[in-house]
A and B are shown apart, each in its own frame.
Chain A
């Protein structure tokens, strides 16, 4: 966001929407032992690099993490997988989830798209015991 442009510090989502996001994040993470995290905000001129930097900011959790970064202002979605999670979530699965999410976003349904996308990613990643690591 350019300096001088006003941003509101309050949450962009209502309490009900936050509850849905929280449930989706928590359930998909517990089911799969993959730490899903969700970033909503500006991604800048190079969205992919910015999303990858955010992912590396997760530190020790990064290899087991999947970052879903959504920039509604730039209409841009990035899904970043880590070293371990890339084995369970191939790029093709991520692209399918991304397609489903952007379709919802295009209809103005930000939260619905995120929740469905997380569900698809979690379904694809499966249970941790079923996948050799």
Chain B
């Protein structure tokens, strides 16, 4: 092999491989990954998820959720658990 060929094979190919990997890593690096890290503040609006209704009829029966600050309804909680981390 000539010097040029040797350089291409032993330097060019590894460099190309590194370049491809670097592109793959950094092309997505700018995407906003909102990964949760314990101890970091949570800068999101509160969200409330309910299970998908079995049918539309049942969906109609589900009342609209009201804000917590409005007239306090009767206490419905009977038990449960708490946890911290």
Contact = CB atoms under 8 A, between A and B. Distances in A.
B26 interface: no
Contact of B83 (A40, A59, A99): A99
A77 B83 contact: yes
B28 interface: no
Interface string B58-85: 0001110110100011111111111111
Contact of A102 (B35, B78, B85): B85
A97 B47 contact: no
B84 A76 contact: yes
Nearest to A28: B51
B68 A7 contact: no
B28 to A, nearest CB: 13
A125 interface: no
B44 A7 contact: yes
A11 B47 contact: yes
B68 A61 contact: no
A29 interface: yes
A60 B42 contact: no
B76 A21 contact: no
Contacts of B61: 60
Interface string A1-25: 1000111111111100000011001
Given A53-B68, A56-B75, 18 more contacts: A8-B44, A12-B44, A39-B48, A41-B44, A41-B46, A50-B68, A51-B80, A56-B72, A57-B65, A61-B62, A75-B38, A77-B82, A78-B82, A81-B77, A82-B78, A98-B81, A102-B83, A103-B85
Interface of A: 1, 5-14, 21-22, 25-26, 28-30, 35-42, 47-48, 50-63, 66-67, 71-73, 75-83, 85-86, 89-91, 94-95, 97-99, 101-103, 105-108, 110
